[in-house]
Amino acid sequence: MRISIASAALVGLASQVAAIDPLVIKGSKVFNSKTGEQFFAKGIDYQPDILSTNQIRDPLADKAACSRDLPFLKDLGVNAIRVYQTEPYGNHDDCMKMLADAGIYVMLDLSTPTETIIRDSPAYDANLLGYYQRKIDAFGKYDNTFAFLAGNEVANAANNTDASAFVKAVVRDTKAYIKSKGLSIAVGYATNDDASIRWQMQTYFDCGPAEERADFYGLNNYEWCGDKATFETSGYANIVKNYTDWDIPVFMTEYGCNAIRPRTFPEVAAIYSNKMTDTFSGGFVYEYVEEPNKYGLVKISGSSGSKTEDYDNFKKALAAVNPKGVKMSSYSPSGKEQSCPDISNDWIASSTLPPTPSNATCDCMMKSLSCVSKLDAVPTSDSELKTFGETVGSIFGTVCGTIDCGDVSADAKSGKYGKYSGCNALQRVSWVMDAWYKNERGVDGSCDFDGFATVTSPELSSDSKCSDQKDSNSADGSSSGSNSDSSENTTSGAASVVASSALAAAALAALL
């Protein structure tokens, strides 16, 4: 959202468990709302205890881990962390308070590896939006939650830039939800800064109606490698040029090339110098915990941690900088809004976004069907999910080669989205099977699909009014994506529903 000082919109809500000055965005800069001083993120990417599985680890719900890591974070002198994976179900009070008391703000990725827009087979349903909304509910109460990321490096090549339309729809819908809750937390996007789509990507997330645009933009960039590189030879000079006169804040959401070791982090001096501070609001070094990729500053072993060879070098580099900003009261934004990129060989995302998904619409549609899947829910185990994806893909391939399946299809390049394209994979395949059943006039065997489907008595005579159905907890009275299951906020089992839905959509799309 375009957060203006005139409306005193704060990036964060007053919290009962933490005392830290909320931040405010004005134009392309971030300010402390109480002191009016410009804020620069001296941050680190923080995601300890990653497993090599699909299980999500939530470091901000682990008091012991936070107690272990906080002394290192304070010693490094960071004032912000970016956390890639969290869950909305645990209690985050202890960790968030520890961080707030240490003056550390938190940027959170909304997505996880299983709850995300998948680049090569993008889909966006109410379960996914509901998961994001629950995460906003979980973290919106903390003053030091200063930003959410709607996606991270989703599109990374010209042939999958259509996924950007779905991510931008997430930006739109989470911004609306945040506003409906009386919050003013910024929502942005982080890119891998691929040169072939760089300009299109950054303009796409900063074009169109205000409610659709990102509040800030993040770059994951590893171009500055070693002490021999300079501001010019590293490419940093060109990066700054690309964002000169930008109208929203820009962060280095990842940096820290490790091609030359040990790392001495010469880019830190540039990021916080007057060469960049008029354009960038700081950055986040990659990363806190040591993993096989050798980017970590701290090695974790159970309840203890130890410094890597990069630790003191980064601490020294960060301590040496003192970025000079402007006072909020004397700053007048002059940045320019962007025009949306045209469809081309290098860009296939229309400025027309997918509609906000609605459980009510999809539930209504299901009540109008005479032929539906025998399954009550998308499978959760890997083996069952693979079989499900193959079955659904085969059904789509067979039926949609004969019958128009536009109502359950999405084409981000043309900007055409079926009225049920935001339904989950199980609902959409039921619509497809029902369309075939009706096309065959209900002849025996036309609702079987090798035992996957069954005939049922519809509760509604038609789906003519389904598109008008909206969820009762809609952000604006016209759209919502929260899960309609009454148990959604009480069990982590809801996560498996979201995960399986996203993975099923990927399996389906890969087969079509």
Catalytic site positions:
153, 254
Range 61-88 burial, b when 16+ CB lie within 10 A, else e? bbeebbebbbebbeebebbbbbbbbbbb
Pairing of strands 216-220, 250-255: parallel
Tally the C-alpha atoms within 13 A of residue 29's C-alpha that lie toward its C-beta. Answer: 24
Nearest to 215 by CA among 241, 197, 189: 189
Pairing of strands 145-152, 80-83: unpaired
Task: Report the 10 Å Cβ neighbour count for 158.
Answer: 16
**CA–CA separation, 146 vs 170, rounded Å?**
18
- The answer for residues whose C-beta is within 8 angstroms of residue 292's C-beta and 6 or more apart is none
Measured in Å, how far apart are the chain's first and last C-alpha atoms? 36
Spatial contact of 423 and 125, defined as CB atoms under 8 Å apart: yes
Spatial contact of 30 and 105, defined as CB atoms under 8 Å apart: no
Burial class (CB in 10 A: 0-12, 13-18, 19+), 247: middle
The token pair that represents 398 in the structure block: 């067979």
The token pair that represents 493 in the structure block: 């089992």
- Sign of the alpha-carbon dihedral angle for 257, 261, 262, 264: negative
